[in-house]
Every structure is written in C-alpha cells, then in structure tokens.
Structure 1
Amino acid sequence: MNSNIRGNSPFVNSSSSLESSEFDEWLEDEIEAMDIEEQIIINMIARNNYVIHHLLTQQSDQATMAESPEKVNLIPTEATSENFGDYGQIIEASSDGVPFGPNDAQLDLSRGIPRLYIMRLKDQPFRFSKITHHASVTQCLGSIGGNVWYLGLAKPSLIEDGDRERVGDNIESGSDGHLYAPPAVEKVRVFRFSGPKFVKLKRGTWHAGPLFGESSMDFYNLELANTNDVDQTTHDFKKNNGVTFRF
C-alpha cells in the first residue's frame, strides 16, 4: 500500500498558505490508491481460495469414486476368429504340414528377446478394475488342458504415425514413453475361451486376466524377456472412472 498517508505526507512541512483543497485532493488520491491495492489483494486471496477448493473437490471426488465405484456387469462372448479381429487372433488346431498362412499367429517379437513360459495363476475371480497393455509385443496366451477362461478386453489405442490429430488432447504416456489414449468404459468387453486354442493379442490390446473359476490354472505365455519389467501400462478404472467390472 502507499505509505504517504502514514506520516509521509508531502504536506507535513508545507507552508500553511497551501489551500486545504490541495490536501483534500491528495488525500482522495491516496485513499483511491489504497482501495485499488486492497482490491487486488482481495482478488488474489479469492482466487487462491478457489484453486484450493477446486483441488480439494477433485481429490474428494476421486476418493468417493474409489470408495464407492459403480459396478458394471458384462456378458461374456465366446471368442471366434470372426468376432475377435479388433483385438488379435484366435488360433485353433490345424493339420500337420499345412504351410504358414493367415490363420497362423502373426507375431511381432522384433523388439526384444522372445520369452515362452508356463504361467501359473491363482484366485482370478470374475471381476476386474484394472486393464493393461503391452506396446512392444504381440502377446500369446493359452490354457494348459483347454479349460475355460476369460479376458476383459478393449481395443488397442496406441498413438502412432500421425494418430495424434485423430485422438485430440486425450493422450497419455505409457511405461516406456509411448503415447496412447485411455480406454473408454463403454468399450470394454469380456471374451470366453474354451478348448484347444490360444489367443494372440495385438500390440497395445488392453487386457485383464486371464480370469477363471478354478482355484488355479496354468497358461503358456509368449511375450518378451523384459515385458513384465518395462512394458506394462495399466489403466485403473476404479480410480479414474469410478467403475469396476464383473461378469
């Protein structure tokens, strides 16, 4: 604030011949300046309070979604070569000696060392709230013994080769720096797999599972040696969208 009015008035040692109207005019200017400075301070305080309130409201909304998420019920669809094309491939038995063709898994293992192993999973009930993709590999999964299992899925949403304009501002950065659009709640599906077949997921296909009814199941898994270390990008629907899925 202007300090002239607090003992530094230019009229303190002035001649008494100065007219009172000059002092009144000076005083009026000082008060007006003080009012402007006070209003600026008030506006700054009000804006800070608004920002704090907005941040607290966001945190409260996220906490509420996490504590009381909406439960979305999904109906599983039996996976076939015809209905699975947006997510990858269904590979079924073929006769020995048949040459390589479009019905075989079209693999991309070029970005690292391939890893083929048997994965044992336990307690994978029919519900999920997180979904993951791998940006660098076409992952293959199949149950040992052909038992029934399920995957929660959403289409790949990797942003590559000029896709940024198509997606707009809804862009996030993945585990290794790649760009993607988060999966939408309404685009999530559940597929059922049974019998002697395996699934090849496209690069970037969002997946939750395998999920199953038994206490444990074994799956063969083809990915890269470092997939679990550097290529795991996860979207949390419970935290970000306030929903969980079940079937």
Structure 2
Amino acid sequence: MNRGHFPFVNSSSSSSESSDEFDEWLEYENEAMEIEEQIAINMIARNNYVIHQLLLIQQSDQEAEMAESPVHVNLVPIEATSESFADYGQVIEASSDGDLFGPNDAQLDLSRGTPRFYIMRLEGRSFGFSTITHHANVTQCLGSVGGHVWYLGVAKPSLIEDVGGERGTRVVESGSDGHLYAPPTVEEVRVFRFSGPKFVKLNRGTWHDGPFFSDSSMDFYNLELSNTNEMDHTRHSFKKKNGVIFRFEDSTSS
C-alpha cells in the first residue's frame, strides 16, 4: 500500500471490508508520521550536540590562550571595618565581658552540618591570587592567632537560590553539590587588610582567597563545617576563565 494514497474501494466491497482497509491505512500513516517525526528530532538533537561540542572546543581554546598570557591586575588593599566589609560579611572586634548578644556579634549559620573549630597553620602565602572560592553551606570565620596583619581577597556572594527562576547565561551549576551561582567578575574583586584582635565572618557564598601575609607562616583559627573542604568548595579560576591574575602590595608598614 502506497503512503499518501487512500486505498481503492470498489463498489462490490462490503462496508466492513472498507472500514478494515481504512483502519489499516490510517494505522500505517500514523506509524510513518511518527517515524518521520522521530528522525527529525534525532537530527535536531545530533546537530545541537555537534554545535555544543564545537562551542566547548572554542571555549577551551580561548581559555588556554588567556591562561598562557594573563593580565596582571593590581589591587589596593582596603582596611577591613564593619562598614567597609559589610557586603561580604562581618568584622568582629573585642566586646566587654557581659555584653548581651546583638547585631555586632557574628551572625552564624552552622545549621547544615557539624561545626568544626580548629587552628589552621598556613605557610608561604605571597601577595597574589588567580582563583577564588565560596562555601554555599556555612558562614566561615577566620582570625589570626595573635592579631597579626593579614589580607583576604573577596567578591560578593552570587548564590542563586531561587531554583524556579530562569537560568541566565552566567548561571553555573557547582560541581561540589549542584547549587547554582553566577561566576564573579574581575571588577568585583577586592582585597582587605585585617590587623589587631579581630576576626572576619564571611557570609554564605562570599567568594574569597587567602589569607595572605608577609611572615613565613601564620596560624589562624577557623570556624566552618566538618566537611566544608571536601563537600562545599566551589572554585572559580580568573586565570583560566578571564585571563587575569590579581596582585597587591603589603601595606603593613603604612
């Protein structure tokens, strides 16, 4: 039976035979149409896959080229105060014994795991960075044991927690736990200087790199979750993605 031609029914055919032939022809037409539609869908999917692979290759080539000849961006450290650091977290300074809990105390979120409070020893942290990290599940606290001078590179939090909203072109899914975020931009990056008896509380999702310091080594107390380093460590490479390395000078003597 040729597709597209209604089966010939002669006058001697019974109505039941005609109905059977029509049903057979209609079933054949529907099956043929479904096959053609599936072929078209498969072709579109294959073309989209090829285009996607070509774009990935192009992106990889661009990233490799930027990483080979990065631009050095010099940043001027900002003294960390409650006001200057407000977009990124809190700067906590000494308070009198007996003071009640209030807005000047660290507003912590440790509800998504087991808190871990420990002393972290760092060595050889020069004044430059090309990667930056955020933690989506905890408000991390850092402070120098002894109140020494140290620095921290930061960018504003960019977590996207309205999963029902539209995903823009800059939305990325984290490889650590699948949360959504927008990558930080070069223009957003700042470096802050911390000195004296104070510590910093980073808001959930605040991008950061460091601490940096001029001494050969320095100890920091660190409050995060027990699995932060293993399960909640999203990183962005400015060298690879933006072709940029950040530098700054030690202003300890100023």
Q: TM-score, normalised by structure 1?
A: 0.76
Give 1:163 shift.
8.3
Match of 1:185 in 2: 186
Q: 1:146 to 1:170 in 2, by over 3 A?
A: same
Give 1:58 shift.
3.9
Match of 1:169 in 2: 169
Give 1:126 shift.
0.4
Take 1:203 and 1:125, find their aligned partners in 2: how far apart are those partners?
26
Aligned positions, number: 198
Give 1:173 shift.
1.0
Q: Percent identity?
A: 70
RMSD: 2.0
Match of 1:211 in 2: 212
Give 1:161 shift.
2.9
The residue identity in structure 2 corresponding to 1:146 is G
Match of 1:137 in 2: 138
Q: 1:78 to 1:59 in 2, by over 3 A?
A: same
Take 2:155 and 2:243, find their aligned partners in 1: how far apart are those partners?
17
Q: 1:91 to 1:157 in 2, by over 3 A?
A: same
The residue identity in structure 2 corresponding to 1:168 is G
Match of 1:19 in 2: none
How is 1:42-121 mapped onto 2 (pairs within 5 angstroms)? 57-121=58-122
Give 1:62 shift.
1.8
Give the secondary-structure state (helix, strand or coil) at the position aligned to 1:86. coil
Unaligned runs of 5+ in 1: 1-48
Give 1:64 shift.
1.7
Give 1:50 shift.
9.8
Give 1:55 shift.
6.0
User: For the pair shown, which has the larger CA radius of gyration, 1 or 2?
Assistant: 1
Give the secondary-structure state (helix, strand or coil) at the position aligned to 2:191. strand
The Cα offsets for residues 97-135 of structure 1, whole Å up to 9 and x where unpaired, read as 000000000000000000000000001110000000000
Match of 1:127 in 2: 128
Give 1:231 shift.
0.2
Unaligned runs of 5+ in 2: 1-49, 249-254
The Cα offsets for residues 80-113 of structure 1, whole Å up to 9 and x where unpaired, read as 0011111000000000000000000000000000
The Cα offsets for residues 20-59 of structure 1, whole Å up to 9 and x where unpaired, read as xxxxxxxxxxxxxxxxxxxxxxxxxxxxx99998765544
The Cα offsets for residues 188-246 of structure 1, whole Å up to 9 and x where unpaired, read as 00000000000000000000000111110000000000001100000000000100100
Q: 1:220 to 1:60 in 2, by over 3 A?
A: same
Give the secondary-structure state (helix, strand or coil) at the position aligned to 2:193. strand
Take 2:230 and 2:159, find their aligned partners in 1: how far apart are those partners?
19
Give the secondary-structure state (helix, strand or coil) at the position aligned to 1:239. helix
Give 1:160 shift.
1.1
Match of 1:151 in 2: 152
Q: TM-score, normalised by structure 2?
A: 0.74
Give 1:145 shift.
0.5
Q: 1:92 to 1:163 in 2, by over 3 A?
A: farther
Take 2:161 and 2:246, find their aligned partners in 1: how far apart are those partners?
29
The residue identity in structure 2 corresponding to 1:75 is V
